[in-house]
A = this chain, B = another copy of it.
Amino acid sequence: MGLFDRFERGPLRLNRIEAFSDGVFAIIVTLLVLELKVPSIPDHHGVSELGRQLVELLPKFLSWLISFVIVCKFWLNHHPILGLARHANYALVWLNSLFLMGQSFIPFPTALMGEYAGNPLAVSAFGVVMAVNTVLFIVLHAYILRHLIKPALADAQDPDIIRKSFIGVRSYLVGAAAAWTSVHAAFVVYLLTPLFFIVPVTRRDVAESGLA
């Protein structure tokens, strides 16, 4: 008991956790562009050759764009979640670090899908990683709701919010499965999933989506 009491007080401040998280998010979205390598062509002045090479980079541009939107969406939803907590404890910090670990991994599957856009394994792996990231986010959210929610906000929470959040998990897994039939379908699912969550889910959205 004394140990847990210590967790709930002490020098942990929510604002440094936010600063650390914002830093990690900002670096991830900016690092993604490093995977867009300038093509190498022998004739430096060849316009049509360079144009052809740039067109071949299209899957990489698309992977970059999808991951950028997804990470921005996670960043955006991370705000109100942390805002629900009345203070930070060690459990929160580690669940948040685990979530950020998942986020910071995203450049790898992004590069993999960009490089092997026609390979079902690469495209499917992207969806699985995003599903895992969504689960890590849900775990963080659920922990705060159960243990750290500000009393004043407790009643305003949608009691089904956690169950609804699994729509994202299922959607990414649908994309991951679709990749084995059509990589194009998977790309479409990956792009649409974060767009669906661009604003916080309301009951009506979920009802209309037919996914719940």
Q: What does the 1/0 interface line of A118-151 toward B look like (CB < 8 Å)? A: 1111100100000000000000000000000000
In the complex, A122→B46 CA distance in Å? 10
In the complex, A30→B22 CA distance in Å? 12
Number of copies: 4
State which of B13, B38, B90, B199 has its C-beta within 8 Å of the C-beta of A199.
B90
Report the interface size class on chain A: 35 or more
In the complex, A120→B51 CA distance in Å? 11
User: Which A residues have a C-beta under 8 Å from some C-beta of B?
Assistant: 3, 6-7, 10-13, 16, 18-20, 22-34, 36, 38, 44-47, 50-51, 54, 64-65, 68-69, 72, 75-76, 79-80, 83, 90, 93-94, 97, 100-101, 104-105, 107-108, 111-112, 115-116, 118-122, 125, 198-200, 202
Cross-chain pairs A/B with CB under 8 angstroms, 10 sampled: A3-B199, A11-B79, A20-B26, A23-B26, A32-B104, A38-B111, A47-B121, A68-B104, A69-B101, A94-B198
